[in-house]
Amino acid sequence: MSGHDHGDDGVSRRKVLECMTWAGTGVLWTITGGVPRSLGIIDSAQAATPAAPGMTFLQISDSHVGFDKPANPNALGTLEEAVNKINAMPVKPSFMIHTGDITHLSKAAEFDNADRIISQSKLDVHYVPGEHDFLDEEVKFYRERYGRGTKGQGWYSFDAGGVHFIGLVNVVDLKAGGLGNLGAEQLAWLEDDLRGKSKSTPVVLFAHIPLWTVYPEWGWGTEDGGRALEYVKGFGSVTVLNGHIHQVMQKVEGNVTFHTARSTAFPQPAPGAAPSPGPMKVEDAKLRSMLGVASINFKQNEQRLAIIDTPIQG
């Protein structure tokens, strides 16, 4: 990756400064020929330039609509701020994925409120559930709204811009003492879904709980996530997008880039940095710098996929 794709005129100084502001405290990754590497601020500025071609999609996560505890008494309000941020983005994204915990307690009104705000983005949204979305007695509110056309507990795949997207569910049938769980039925479906796909097809896996083991002491991982990763091993470019841990975390292993997005509701502590993974109360002035969304840019010809985390503020 370099500035060559911008031609001889390059990027004007003013634009670079604008984009540096835009990139904020974000972190950017690109994948060139399936090999990810991190980029300097100038490169990231170029990637965020409005002229950037290719497909851009957004990841939003852990909106916890209904949460009103001290860590953020108005989670619906910060969700709306995040959506406003999305609407102000220089590149209109093609669509959005939501990696779960849409609501805090799976109440019908919480789902309704979430939808009312998220729909203001006027983007198609592809959802996967978090454990907070399956709490109603009959476990029907999520499925009624977002389960149509999905398999099993709500998994599915779709293609966009030359990328194969797979939404997985790892918050059901959790075992005592264990982590997130995909289960045999879903893994069999995944293997089947990938069968016959060209290995040069970029693959994006998204699910609520990290598919990689972030911190098992807090349940931050997926028991059989390794099985899912076996199935994508031969693919040149694999990106795994998760939520659940309410902070940005990344890992690169071979051709696989793992990334978790911020929440729009409340931050959680770094692994082991607090007695529990519960909501972390920070100064009011700091809260919005710890909430945000991620935008992901993909260029077909360069096998390049870049992730920029954008806080709501700061």
CA-based torsion, 272, 275, 279, 282: positive or negative: negative
Give the separation between CA 290 and CA 268, rounded to whole angstroms. 9
Q: Is 187 in the site for another protein (CB under 8 A)?
A: no
Q: Is 199 in the site for another protein (CB under 8 A)?
A: no
Name which of residues 140 to 169 contact another protein (CB under 8 A): none
Q: Is 217 in the site for another protein (CB under 8 A)?
A: yes
Token digits of residue 259: 């990334």
Closest CA to 202 of 2, 35, 19, 88: 35
Q: Is 277 in the site for another protein (CB under 8 A)?
A: yes
Residue 15 per-residue DSSP state: H
Task: Output 70 or 149, the one with its CB closest to another protein.
Answer: 70
Q: Is 218 in the site for another protein (CB under 8 A)?
A: yes
Q: Is 16 in the site for another protein (CB under 8 A)?
A: no
Among 20, 52, 91, 135, binds another protein (CB under 8 A): 135
Segment lying near another protein (by CB under 8 A), choices 1-9, 175-183, 233-241, 305-313: 175-183
Distance of closest approach, residue 244 Cβ to another protein, in angstroms: 11
Distance of closest approach, residue 260 Cβ to another protein, in angstroms: 17
Binding mask 54-73 toward another protein (x if CB under 8 A, else -) reads: ---------------xxx--
Task: Output 204 or 209, the one with its CB closest to another protein.
Answer: 209
Q: Is 278 in the site for another protein (CB under 8 A)?
A: yes
Give the separation between CA 101 and CA 106, rounded to whole angstroms. 9
Query: In terms of DSSP H, where are the helices of the chain?
Result: 13-23, 41-47, 75-87, 108-118, 141-146, 184-194, 225-231, 284-287
CA-based torsion, 240, 294, 110, 151: positive or negative: negative
Residue 302 per-residue DSSP state: T
Segment lying near another protein (by CB under 8 A), choices 36-44, 48-56, 274-282, 286-294: 274-282
If you write DSSP's letter for every residue of 28-65 in order, what string do you get?
-EEEETTEEEE--HHHHHHHTSTT--SEEEEEE----B
Number of residues engaging another protein in binding (CB under 8 A): 25
Distance of closest approach, residue 251 Cβ to another protein, in angstroms: 21
Token digits of residue 250: 């990344």
- Could you list the residues that contact another protein (CB under 8 A)? 69-71, 104-106, 131-132, 135, 137, 174-179, 216-219, 275-279
